[in-house]
Amino acid sequence: MKYYKKIIGKRLYLSPVNGDDAEIYITWMNETAAQDFGQYHLVVSSKSDLKWLFEPPADMQRYAMVLLDGDIMIGSVSIHNIDHLNRNAFLGIFIGEEEHRSKGYGAEAIRLILAFGFNTLNLHNIMLSVNADNMQGIACYKKVGFREVGRRREWVFKNGKYIDRIYMDMLAREF
């Protein structure tokens, strides 16, 4: 089996990342998906460039997002920089293909990983950061229950201009 149903939702499940998917990730990281993921400046040409994806550090839980209908991998979601002492972490997510965006898959995957983070890993606070021009991502995060807690003004230089970086978080009791 290519994917394993580790965390199951209504329309998708989260599976450990499969090393055989390197070509798909290389394509995504060199196309528009990387624009909002924050890696738009990198050129990714081999599996070794994706070591962070296939060999995550001990303080990370990374999963492929896979549709239940057809077992199609559509993206990646993670909890990283996990600090067990202070019970906090960061969330990261991207959906690779445009055709799978704006369908609620991101919100579902985020809810699944939040449930895992709060209920299984016993985290108290999960934070994320997003470029201020990623209106679709911001809307999704707010829909799930994240709140803006801070902003780095003109923090990211993208396409010839500076963009604010927004920080959002959620506490376990808000989930």
pLDDT tens digits, one per residue of 145-154: 999 999 999 9
Sheet holding 88-95, edge to edge: 7-8, 12-16, 61-67, 73-83, 88-95, 125-131, 161-171, 147-158
Q: What is the pLDDT of residues 114-170, one digit of tens each?
A: 999 999 999 999 999 999 999 999 999 999 999 999 999 999 988 899 999 999 999
pLDDT at residue 31 in the model = 73
| pLDDT tens track for 25-57 | 777 877 755 555 555 556 666 666 666 666 778
Task: Answer yes or no: is 21 within a domain.
Answer: yes
Per-position b or e across 111-146, b if 16+ CB within 10 A of its CB: bbbbebbbeeeebebbbbbbbbbbeebbebbeebeb
Residue 89 confidence (pLDDT) above 60:
yes
**Domains in the chain, number:** 1
| CA–CA separation, 154 and 139 (whole Å) | 20
Residue 1 lies in a domain: no
> Which residues form the domain of 32?
7-174
Whole-structure pTM value:
0.89
Decide if 2 is inside a domain.
no
**What's the CATH code of the domain at 121?**
3.40.630.30
In a domain, 68, yes or no: yes
Within a domain: residue 32? yes
Q: Is 113 a domain residue?
A: yes
Task: Quote the CA–CA distance of 112 and 22 in Å, as a whole number.
Answer: 24
The predicted structure's pLDDT at residue 50: 65
